[in-house]
A and B are shown apart, each in its own frame.
Chain A
């Protein structure tokens, strides 16, 4: 079962993302395991038990937390060789994306696979949906493995 993480601090945006992920999953007839996180709260053991396959990421999290920093807390991130989740950076072009541009300079360790990262320039539902559809279909083709094979 693919694991989707939504890292977003604003409740409304979180709900929106959740709804869109659900809707897309129904369209793909895919069973998903979804984890919602605000980027700083404690994670339960169940949530950290599986690595994410797809992350919907907000860059500008509350209390000055950078989205990519939060991403480093995600389980599996330490295994750079095998961990290559699809990342949808869902943010506005004004200001927030600069955070993304800055990140590699600040931290050499951020090792996202560019082929699997997409940035939206506008935080709209449509953008998220399009990106989700594309990445979910890639996920289904390229595969995901968490002991149980569901796709």
Chain B
């Protein structure tokens, strides 16, 4: 990993060190001319920003990043000079770092906004600009993400406003000089910046945090807060940002995990004890955490993990209604004054099980729940898929692993990868770490491929850890022996015979069976059998599993297609069968032309050709016309037919994609860049023998 530090892509999606950036501002105008209104709005915003920042008196100035994007030069340089009220305020602007700027250029503004940005964005543009930006996203779900994103604000003209409102985008007119909605959102983000994500769900949580972080004037302490959420959804982050927002004394945040102590010890830890409360208690008594955290906050983490959750909740009941919280130390007696004490501590509780289940199982007191007037639900990852790229990026940065940095395509892939993230951020992290393992072993792998390989190991994320792939291939492996094969799989010839499968004799019925097979997912076991049959591995007595898996990989796309065709000495029979099937689908003229073309010397090649044709003809999603289908069988120069099975495999894999589900028209599959049109174009390419490259030669 030499010279990694000098690599511009290193920070490709990364955050510059010690970033103090509050917002990114993009100006998009086709001809590069910024209208006066937009300039006025922007300079007003910059002035406000600087004034607000000076008032708040932070140690370092909050910075803005400006970027102008026009048709002519995709990317013009920084234009902050125009908006600087005076030279001294230079500190209020930052530049995009090199890696980030490169990602922006490469993948476009929309991809950058949706998958790689770290800060809220203000997009200043006219109607053309918004339309162009959104046009990229049609008809993908990206437009939904754009609507869901609570921290992209469009600043636009009258036409643009109308258009944006139609599309439900967040927009403000540039005539609006109050700028309140923009300022409010940006400051909301800045205050709760330790929480990641821009989705509207998390926006709601941020607003709650700001609201609950304020102390009411008639109260001495903050209202106690209960944070409910599954594990790894960021409950502690929410608690931390509540504390940051509250303006309480820094460094007075104490957390106690209820699962760590036995119940009695936990009570004395939290509330303190008097001398003689228990054997070997300190003669001076002991201060509890609630008292030591006075003036700050006490986070009681995972209250359901305590030994006796109900008892612990009971102990807190009085603290919750009194202001400031009133409690009794362990071992308090009327003779020992004071009997009960108060501490102005803000109590924050977290709960990581569903409340309904807990009440049913008797682990949650309803009265405990009802005493909270401030409850925050921490949304699981599946409720905010829009935030996955940002969370992935943060968790990648925090993992401090060396290696390649996450790219925008990989982040986009993660975003649409799964809908159920069972273990939330933990699962995401596991995925990244396991992919990283693969990447560090293989330089030829891309992030996207590595992620796919990990996910292929199983549905459950625990499978990812368990099913470490064999070096021979990346497929989930299972050993087959002859004894395990289903009854009837072994032919009448016994051990040395071929493994056969009964196929219907009548062409109609056979076509039906094949159609079903094409549609259904490939059956691994069946494929194994067929492969054994083809390669006669069963006959040798030893089952070479890795070889089978390798074969399966190379024949993916066919399903159980091998049942037809070249599988033994009797080519002639199979050949006749296939011709009979072809006659059902193609005209006699086509077939005789084909036979004349292919010739007879290469028997297995002929069968491959027939199979490809039949496969295409039967496939319900096939959009290629009959004539073109025949064209596929010839090489790009049209000289001779392709009789290699490998070539046809490539064709079919591309046509059908990996997962063999029905394809809708225009749907993108297998790889992002392989669309249906592309596949069709490629046939044209092969047929027309187009020269595809620019070659200059010395």
Q: Report A147 CB to chain B, min CB distance, Å.
A: 8
Determine if B698 and A41 form an interchain contact, defined as CB atoms under 8 angstroms apart.
yes
* Contacting pair A36 B698 (CB below 8 A): yes
Binds A, one of B183-191, B403-411, B512-520: B403-411
Complex formed: what's the CA distance from A72 to B279 in Å?
A: 78
Interface-central residue, A33, A80, A117, A137, by most chain B CB under 10 Å: A137
Interchain CB contact under 8 A, B682 and A29: yes
- A116 — which chain B residues lie within 8 A by C-beta? 443
* A80 in contact with B6 (CB, 8 Å): yes
- The one of A21, A47, A81, A140 that contacts B673, using a Cβ cutoff of 8 Å: A140
Given contacts A47-B696, A118-B444, A143 and B6 within 8 Å (CB-CB)? no
Question: CB distance B2 to A111 under 8 Å?
Answer: yes
B447 within 8 A of A: yes
What 1/0 mask marks residues of chain B from 417 to 452 whose CB sits below 8 Å from any chain A CB?
000000000000000000000000011111111000
Asked whether A115 and B697 contact (CB < 8 A) given A141-B407, A143-B102, the answer is: no
Among A18, A44, A81, A133, point to the contact of B8 (Cβ < 8 A): A81
Minimum C-beta distance from A106 to chain B (A): 16
A25 and B692 form a contact (CB under 8 A): yes
Residues of chain B within 8 A (CB-CB) of A135 are 444
Q: Which residues of B contact A151 (CB under 8 A)?
A: 106
For the complex formed, measure the closest distance between the CB of A87 and the CB atoms of chain B, giving whole angstroms. 11
A32 on the interface (CB 8 Å rule)? yes
Could you tell me the distance in whole angstroms from the C-beta of B411 to the nearest C-beta in chain A?
Answer: 11
By a CB distance below 8 angstroms, the chain A residues around B233 are none
Q: Is the CB of B8 within 8 A of A82?
A: yes
Q: Which of A1-38 contact B (CB under 8 A)?
A: 1, 18, 21-22, 25-26, 28-29, 31-38
A105 within 8 Å of B (CB atoms):
no
A102 at interface, CB cutoff 8 A: no
Question: Considering only CB atoms, which chain B residue lies closest to A140 in the complex?
Answer: B673
**Inside 8 A of B596's CB, which chain A residues have their CB?**
none
Give CA–CA (A140, B409) in the complex, Å: 9
A99 at the interface (CB under 8 A from B): no
| Segment 1-27 of B: residues with Cβ below 8 Å from A | 1-4, 6-9, 12
- Are the C-beta atoms of B4 and A143 separated by less than 8 Å? no
Could you say which residues of chain B place their CB within 8 Å of the CB of A142? 9, 12, 404, 407, 446
Contact A31 B443 (CB under 8 A): no
Q: A101 interface residue, CB < 8 Å from B?
A: no
How far is A151 from B106 in the complex, measured between Cα atoms in Å? 8
CA distance A116 to B12 in the complex (A): 16
Q: Is the CB of B696 within 8 A of A34?
A: yes
Question: Cβ of A117: which chain B residues have Cβ within 8 Å of it?
Answer: 443
Asked if B107 lies at the interface with its beta carbon under 8 angstroms from chain A, I say: yes
**Min C-beta distance of B271 to chain A, whole Å:** 55
Q: A145 an interface residue at 8 Å Cβ cutoff?
A: yes
Is the pair B692, A31 in contact by a Cβ cutoff of 8 Å? yes
A130 within 8 A of B: yes
Task: List the A side residues contacting B12 at CB < 8 Å.
Answer: 142
Nearest CB on B from A27, distance (A) = 8
Q: What is the distance, in angstroms, from A14's C-beta to the closest C-beta of chain B?
A: 9
Is the CB–CB distance between B692 and A26 below 8 Å? Answer: yes
Chain B residues with CB under 8 Å of A107's CB are none
Q: Which residues in window 253-301 of B have CB below 8 A to A?
A: none
Instruction: Give the residues in chain B near A25, CB-CB below 8 Å.
Output: 692-693
Residue in A31, A38, A143 whose Cβ sees the most chain B Cβ within 10 Å: A143
Q: Which residue of B lies closest to A117 (CB)?
A: B443
Chain B residues with CB below 8 A from A134, complex form: 442-446
B-side contacts of A141, CB under 8 Å: 407, 409-410, 446-448
Known A81-B6, A142-B407; judge A29-B673 contact (CB<8 A): yes
B3 touches A80 (CB 8 A): yes
Does B678 have its Cβ within 8 Å of any Cβ on chain A?
Answer: yes
- Bound together, the chains give a CA A137 to CA B452 distance in angstroms of 14
Residue of A whose beta carbon sits closest to that of B650: A27
Instruction: Tell me which residues across on chain B come within 8 A of A29, comparing CB atoms.
Output: 673-674, 678, 682
Residues of A near B103 (CB, < 8 A) are 143
Q: How far is the CA of A84 from the CA of B5 in the complex (A)?
A: 12
Q: Are A34 and B444 in contact (CB under 8 A)?
A: no
A140: chain B residues within 8 A (beta carbon): 409, 446, 673
Chain B proximity of A75: nearest CB distance (Å):
14
CA distance A44 to B697 in the complex (A): 10
Q: Is B472 an interface residue (CB 8 A)?
A: no
- Say yes or no: B2 contacts A114, CB within 8 Å: yes
Closest Cβ–Cβ distance, residue B684 to chain A (whole Å):
12
Nearest A residue to B443 by beta-carbon distance? A118
Minimum CB distance partner of B6 in chain A: A81
- Complex CA distance for A82 and B7, rounded to whole angstroms: 6
- List residues of chain B with CB within 8 A of the CB of A94: none
Taking the closest CB of chain B, its distance from the CB of A72, in whole angstroms, is: 15
Instruction: Specify which chain A residues have a CB less than 8 angstroms from the CB of B98 in the assembled complex.
Output: 82
A84 near B698 with CB under 8 A, answer no
Report Cα–Cα, A63/B663, bound state, in Å.
Answer: 57
**Interfacial chain A residues near B446, Cβ < 8 Å:** 134, 137-138, 140-142
- Name the residue among A36, A142, A145, A149 with the largest chain B CB count within 10 angstroms: A142
Whether A131 contacts B8 by the Cβ 8 Å rule is no
A65 at the interface (CB under 8 A from B): no
User: Once bound together, how far apart are the Cα atoms of A41 and B696, in whole Å?
Assistant: 14
Instruction: Give the CA-CA distance A43 to B685 in the complex, in Å.
Output: 32
In the complex with contacts A29-B682, A113-B2, A137-B446, A34-B695 CB distance below 8 A: yes
Most buried by B among A37, A131, A138, A141: A141
Q: Which residue of B lies closest to A42 (CB)?
A: B698
Q: How far is the CA of A46 from the CA of B696 in the complex (A)?
A: 9
Inter-chain contacts of A1 with B (CB < 8 A): 694
- Chain A positions within 8 Å of B626 at CB level: none
User: Is A149 within 8 A of B74, CB to CB?
Assistant: yes
Closest to B654 in A: A27
**Chain A positions within 8 Å of B106 at CB level:** 143-145, 149, 151
Residues of B within 8 A of A114 (CB): 1-2
With the chains together, A18 CA to B692 CA distance in Å?
13
Complex CA gap A80/B403 in Å reads 19
For A131, give its contact among B6, B9, B444 (CB under 8 Å).
B444
Residues from chain A with a CB closer than 8 A to the CB of B685 are 26
CA gap between A67 and B387 in the complex, in Å: 46
B378 to chain A, nearest CB (A): 33
A-B contact pairs, 25 of them (CB 8 A): A22-B695, A26-B692, A28-B673, A29-B678, A29-B682, A33-B694, A34-B693, A34-B695, A36-B698, A43-B698, A80-B6, A81-B8, A82-B98, A84-B8, A111-B3, A115-B443, A116-B443, A117-B443, A118-B443, A118-B444, A130-B444, A134-B443, A137-B444, A140-B409, A141-B407
The 6 A-B residue pairs with the shortest CB-CB distance, nearest first, are: A134-B444, A143-B106, A141-B446, A81-B6, A141-B409, A36-B697
- B residues with CB within 8 A of A: 1-4, 6-9, 12, 74, 98, 102-103, 105-107, 403-404, 407, 409-410, 442-449, 673-674, 678, 682, 685, 692-698
Write the residues of chain A forming the contact surface with B, with a CB cutoff of 8 angstroms.
1, 18, 21-22, 25-26, 28-29, 31-38, 41-44, 46-47, 80-82, 84, 111-118, 130-131, 133-135, 137-138, 140-145, 149, 151
New A-B pairs, 4, CB < 8 Å, besides A47-B698, A84-B8, A113-B4: A31-B692, A38-B698, A131-B444, A142-B9
